[in-house]
Amino acid sequence: MLSTVIGVVVLLLHAAGVLAAMHAVMNTRTPQGAFAWALGLVLLPYVTLVPYLYLGRSRFHGYVDLHRVRREQMHALANVRLETGATSREACARYAEIAHMLGTHFHAGQTLRLLVNGDATFDAMLTAIGEAKHCVLVQFFIIHDDALGRRMQQVLLERARAGVEICVLYDGIGSHALPHQYVDTLRDAGVSVHPFATQRRSNRFQLNFRNHRKIVVIDGRRGFVGGLNVGDEYLGLKPPLAPWRDTHLQIDGPAVADLQRSFAEDWHWVTGALPPLLLPQPGEGHSQTLIVTTGPADRQETCSLFFVSVIQAARKRLWITTPYFVPDQAVMSALRLAVFRGVDVRVLMPSRPDHHAVFLASGLYAHDAVRAGIRVFRYQPGFLHQKVILVDDDTASVGSMNLDSRSFRLNFEIGALNVDRRFAMQVEAMLREDFSHAHEVTEAEYLRAPYLRRLAMHVARLFDPVL
């Protein structure tokens, strides 16, 4: 009798695996991902069926379609109030396809402040929030209830009691450890706070889509965007990854309107309402800035295409810093072609892991990159989390995008692409300091690694679609 029950269960599992494999073949975005899921689901449904329920969905049509419609409606509403005019500077023409793809444009006149670490970032951010007069928009992937999280909470509570309208959005997965008491304290003081979810009706099997954006906007005039979340580790206070290396950007000028718009799209999706939308001040700076918003609701794989376009624009220099170096085929090909054009291509990545599978896969891609003539460096003092790109002598990007499949296809991301020689010089000086604390990767790193470690690298790369 027991053997009959076991046989029926095994048969049902294999039948479910075949059905799930058919779904994977029809819906997974990349052929590699479809093949990997289908093979595992058919041969080992006992191992892969449950992970597929949680991680296998890279297209979620009901959510994507509805979010796209809502976003376009919100975009039309916001345009009436936020239109600030475009710039036609020749230097920005190299990136015209990015602006066209995203349906936006460069804004002239930004004043930029490079925030080179967590202390500088949160000192500037919390001071700006503390000076808010009308409204504050806050969005992070991770908010922790620790010393920094409570500093953020206190300044928001103080502004809320002063009558400032405050909207807070956090990712429900990234901030899964955030206690209800933290959120309730904000709500009791009049702060509007919500977790971001990829659909309004609960779906316990949907973990793939995540909102990885980090946005703060104060009174529609000053904005912050970059790689830092709200947690003590981002101040370098949590070994073994300390000191934490990260970068953020402060923007004053018309481009803040697009930071507002991105926040409003996500807020409107979650709440069905619009947050306060205020006009920014006219630009008094020198930077031409394009706010780049990407995500799984886009018709194209906009994040991957953004990287490809920026890489193709480089003629002299392309320096990239990323915590996760897991490029897709299009990005890797663009990097190789940049080397053939004579571009100084460098990638700065961590020397210690925060996610072991990604770290292993990154090591294999680093080996492939070195063989292709790309210079790869490992940052030594602590964990490198910054997401910065420097192109030639005039362009620098700071944002939340990682160089991996999750950012390319599954996460909502945001960044600022800035054309400004003076700002690019500041970024260059920062990166030269970072490179001075790094060692260059050679082919020997892979070739001298133990066989089992090299095998683990190749196995980890099989999971590219979900890393």
Could you give the angle at which helices 2-27 and 31-43 cross, rounded to 10 degrees?
Answer: 170
* pTM of the complete model: 0.87
Q: Work out the average pLDDT over 306-327.
A: 97
Q: Which is more confidently placed, 71 or 317?
A: 317
- Amino acid residing at 436: S
Active-site option among 387, 394, 420, 464: 387
Q: State the catalytic residue, choosing from 67, 105, 144, 214.
A: 214
- Tell me whether residue 392 is one of the annotated catalytic residues: yes
Q: Which residues of 357-368 are buried (b: 16+ CB within 10 A; e: fewer)?
A: bbbbbbbbbbbb
pLDDT of amino acid 279: 84
pLDDT at 66 (0 to 100): 56
The answer to which of 98-107, 114-123, 224-233, 332-341 has the lowest mean pLDDT is 98-107
- The confidence score (pLDDT) of residue 90 equals 72
More confident residue, 36 or 433: 433
385 labelled catalytic: yes
- For residue 422, count other CB atoms closer than 10 A to its CB: 11
Q: What is the pLDDT of residue 272?
A: 84
Q: How far is residue 26 from each of residues 23, 29, 123, measured CA to CA in Å?
A: 5, 9, 48
Say how far apart CA 246 and CA 321 lie, in whole Å: 10
- What confidence tens digit (pLDDT) does each residue in 177-191 have? 999 999 999 999 999
Asked if residue 199 has pLDDT above 70, the reply is no
For the chain, domains (ranges, CATH) are: 2-55 (no CATH), 61-85+111-282 (3.30.870.10), 302-466 (3.30.870.10)
Let me know if 212 is a catalytic residue: yes
pLDDT score recorded for residue 321: 98
Q: Please compute Rg for the chain using Cα positions.
A: 22
**What percent of the chain stands above pLDDT 90?**
68
Burial of 269 (0-12, 13-18, 19+ CB in 10 A): buried
Q: Which listed residue (145, 171, 219, 420) is catalytic?
A: 219
75 is catalytic: no
Would you state the pLDDT for residue 166? 98
In tens, the pLDDT along 272-283 reads 888 998 988 888
Query: 211 φ, ψ to 5°?
Result: -95, 105
Asked if pLDDT for residue 195 goes beyond 90, the answer is yes
Write down the catalytic residue from 392, 404, 420, 434.
Answer: 392
157-170: pLDDT as tens digits: 999 999 999 999 99
Rounded Cα distance between 143 and 183, Å, is 10
- Please give the pLDDT value at position 169: 97
Asked about 219 being catalytic, the answer comes back as: yes
pLDDT of residue 89: 66
| Cα–Cα distance, 262 to 167 (Å, whole number) | 13
Out of 105, 144, 212, 367, the active site residue is 212
Q: Report pLDDT for 12.
A: 75
Please provide the distance, in angstroms rounded to a whole number, between the alpha carbons at the two ends of the chain.
42
| Residue 387 designated active-site | yes
Between 376 and 466, the more confident residue is 376
Which one of the listed residues 258, 385, 434, 464 is annotated catalytic? Answer: 385
State the chain's mean pLDDT as an integer.
88
Confidence category of residue 83, pLDDT binned at 50, 70, 90: very low
Burial (CB count <10 Å: 0-12, 13-18, 19+), residue 24: buried
Predicted confidence at residue 299, as pLDDT, reads 83
